[in-house]
Chains A and B, each alone.
Chain A
């Protein structure tokens, strides 16, 4: 049932560095690609999302890059901070299609 593949499983970055998480999808009917952030003991929360009519969306230090032809999208966290340490999930959905989540990436930002 895995329609969204996410990598890496875990990522360690130094404070101030760039964190990059990648996702690939299969279903061309998907037209909404959110990223969720989950802290330990909490439910995931929407971080940023993109639609396929644009190739990039930036909100503060967080940027989604989207490549429709390759069916890939990625999350970039600039100037990573220890407070960004969390698990990140990419997801994809389309009208009539339930949202499907990637397996998650555990990010650790070292001070």
Chain B
């Protein structure tokens, strides 16, 4: 597949448990983004990776959220001690270059992971 893939597609967890969400970007894309989309709402920026530079974590809502990216490949978003308000669709996107290089970069989105915290 040439697109961005995410796994799992759905995740149901109990309050207080930790979850890991995975994103496989398009090969060759140097920039990777995570967004949160609550039901019926817009895209909330969480974190952005650009190559080997320090990630922009300015959108992470709390220290329960963290993300890693290995080089220019897979990224994992981890939510510790999940709360009910964490229930949302988590979208990953990648782009050929990131905003530090150019603003004209189309982001390609994955289908998202729907997280439900009971």
Report which A residues bind B (CB closer than 8 A).
1, 6, 30-32, 34, 36, 41-46, 49, 51, 89, 93-104, 106
Interface of chain B: mostly helix, strand, loop or mixed: loop
Please state if B106 and A98 are interface contacts (CB–CB under 8 Å). no
CB contacts (< 8 Å) of B102 on chain A: these are 95
> Measured between C-beta atoms, what is the minimum distance from A52 to chain B in Å?
11
A31 to B35, CA, bound (A): 21
Nearest A residue to B109 by beta-carbon distance?
A: A43
Report which B residues bind A (CB closer than 8 A).
4, 33, 35, 40-43, 45, 48, 56, 58-59, 91, 93, 99-112
> Measured between C-beta atoms, what is the minimum distance from A42 to chain B in Å?
6
Please state if A42 and B111 are interface contacts (CB–CB under 8 Å). yes
CB contacts (< 8 Å) of B33 on chain A: these are 98-99
Q: Known contacts being A31-B103, A49-B106, is A100 close to B111, with CB within 8 Å?
A: no
Please state if A104 and B100 are interface contacts (CB–CB under 8 Å). no
Please state if B111 and A99 are interface contacts (CB–CB under 8 Å). no
Q: Known contacts being A43-B93, A43-B111, is A101 close to B106, with CB within 8 Å?
A: no
Q: Known contacts being A89-B42, A103-B41, is A43 close to B4, with CB within 8 Å?
A: yes
